Structure 1
Amino acid sequence: MPKYKLLALDMDGTLLNERSEISEENAEWIRRAREAGVTVSFSTGRGFVSALPYAEQLKLDSPMITVNGGEIWTKPHVLHKRTELSPIYVERLHKLAKSYPEVWFWAYTTLAIYNKERWFGAGESYDSHHWLKFGYYTEDDRARELILAEVQSWGALEISNSSPNNIELNPQGVSKASALRDLCDWMGIGMSEVVAAGDSLNDIAAIREAGLGVAMGNAQEAVKEAADVVTLTNDEHGVAELIKRYVL
């Protein structure tokens, strides 16, 4: 029996290549890990609807962590826990976004994704929705730094990113690491039996707390520094490599 019981995989920049595909090599080694008794779970900033087709492609009937830990599923369509983002903060984040016209923004609810081009209608309010996550994207470093400083000054949100050009906000205390702890409790295993792999700041807490934290070869430097090991890039089938070397 493998030493590790749970393999928690980030999706974009980790499991998926730069064309947002799962390579044949990654799919094959995930199949082998599952046959050896390892539970393979997505641990992603994506929402459930966006992650589901990839779970179906791999025939995974296992847990999923979505929206950076805002939702935990014991298997596809079976919700275990959901932590909502207060509409008060969504309103503040939205107003802040609108003060930077060049910055793209988006927000996940339990039912939809709103963004700069498509926000909710005039007859609705922030309280009309069940929010999960808010994000900003800009290649303007100065604008991103100012937004980050403002949000940090509130001291009320979990701040991460899924690329060097974005900022992602969840309720304070909600992360992929907190979701993995909940999942371990549900599975009856310890965090020492988890392998967590990723490439961005929203993966760091999980990588630090897991029994084995793995950074992708294409990961941000801070992620590599936090990891126990660094595998190949997402375009070099890094997930297949980490399963071969460290899981099986």
Structure 2
Amino acid sequence: MTKRTIRLIISDIDGTILNDRHQVDQKLKDMIPALKELGIPFVLASARSPLGMEPIAQELGLDGNPLACYNGALVIKGDPQRYSTIIEHPLDKKEIRTFLELVKAEFPSVSINLYSGKDWIADRLDQWVQMEADITGEQPIIQNALLPVLDVLLPLHKLLLIDEPAVIQQLHAYLQTLDFPHTAFYLSKDNYLEVTAKHVSKEQALQEIAQYYQTPLEEVMTIGDNFNDIPMLRLAGLGVAMGNAPQGVKQEANVQTYSNNQHGAAEAVENYVLI
């Protein structure tokens, strides 16, 4: 594969272009000007919010490139404080109301976080919310009663539920027995349950961003480290799994690179795009 094959790169953030101390891969940052010179966009796709992604995009020098937030539920361009929406796939509020009532009744210890555009709303400031704030650099709006918030939030792009791994995995298993036809539930960590509209995925985001850039899928490289990255790793012309990815993720990729602590994303760009 030569550098001429790849015309678009779509990359995950956490565990991919950030090391375990949540720092941007400096080697990758140094490569962005060369990608710009070649006219190859580097697009970030993450479960993070616009405000959680923007500082990373700024540090990498990706001004002007779209950001696929909430795993593609919201794709934006421009300043996250005054962004323009390219694509969005909001949650079904009727189903989310039912879902929230169920969680409050059956799993009261779970920390619930709602995301609408750039706004993050939590039901309480507990250890989990504080930990997420420390990672993303954002601060949530605290609303003890979340159900009334649904009436004023338009649209709702994602929910994040956090608790001890055993609780979250019990909740996830329980949800598989229920009927939520318009809503998807998946684990992004062993104690993080993500909730989006049914058809939202990084695979869908890849298709929509490739269409936005009028680039064939076979000329797209994707980079990721976790199970929610598998759909885009499979679909792209070149799917690259990080060295720190679980074996199940590596098996679905075309190639593997070094870990996020060893400049793995930069190595992939160097080996498959710039050389």
Q: Which of residues 97, 105, 111 in structure 1 aligns to 2:103?
A: 97
CA distance in 2, matches of 1:66, 1:107: 14
How much does 1:149 deviate? 2.2
The answer as to 2:270 corresponding to 1:244 is yes
1:191-242: CA deviations, max 9, x gaps? 1111111112221111111111111111133221211112111111111111
**Does residue 1:66 correspond to 2:66, yes or no?**
no
User: What is the TM-score normalised by the length of structure 1?
Assistant: 0.90
Deviates more, 1:148-157 or 1:230-239: 148-157
Identity %: 28
SS of 2:6's equivalent in the other structure is coil
The 1:171/1:247 distance shift into structure 2, 3 A limit, reads same
After TM superposition, where is structure 1 displaced by more than 4 Å over at least 4 residues in a row? 120-123
5+ residue gaps, structure 2: 125-141
User: Which residue, out of 13, 16, 24, partners 1:14?
Assistant: 16
Matched, 1:198 2:201: no
Count of aligned positions: 247
Matches within 5 A, 1:114-153: 114-117=121-124, 118-119=142-143, 124-129=148-153, 130-141=155-166, 143-153=167-177
CA deviations on 1:10-49 (whole Å, 9 max, x unpaired) are 1111111122211321211233223222110001110111
Cα distance in 2 for partners of 1:147, 1:196 equals 31
Q: Does structure 1 residue 176 correspond to structure 2 residue 178?
A: no
Tell me, yes or no, if structure 1 residue 81 matches structure 2 residue 87: yes
Provide closer, same or farther for how the CA distance between residues 114 and 74 of structure 1 changes in structure 2, counting only shifts above 3 A.
closer
- Counterpart of 2:30 in structure 1 is 28
- The aligned residue for residue 39 of structure 1 is 41
Structure 2 length normalisation: TM-score? 0.82
Query: Which residue matches 2:214?
Result: 188
Tell me, what secondary structure is at the counterpart of 2:5?
coil
Whole-angstrom distance in 1 between the partners of 2:237 and 2:143: 41
- What SS does the corresponding residue of 1:105 show, helix, strand or coil? strand
Q: Secondary structure at the match of 1:73?
A: strand
AA matched with 1:145: Q
State the alpha-carbon separation in 1 of the partners of residues 216 and 187 from structure 2: 26
Tell me the distance in 2 between the aligned counterparts of 1:53 and 1:113.
16
Indicate how the Cα distance of structure 1 residues 120 and 194 shifts in structure 2: closer, same or farther if over 3 A, else same. farther
Structure 1 unaligned regions, length at least 5: none
**Contact 1:2–1:38 at 8 Å: present in 2 too?**
no
Secondary structure of 1:45 counterpart: coil
Q: Structure 1 pair 132/102, CA: closer, same or farther in 2 (3 Å)?
A: same
Q: CA RMSD in A?
A: 2.1
Check the 8 A contact 1:30/1:240 in 2, yes or no.
no
Mapped contact 1:97–1:136 kept (Cα < 8 A): no
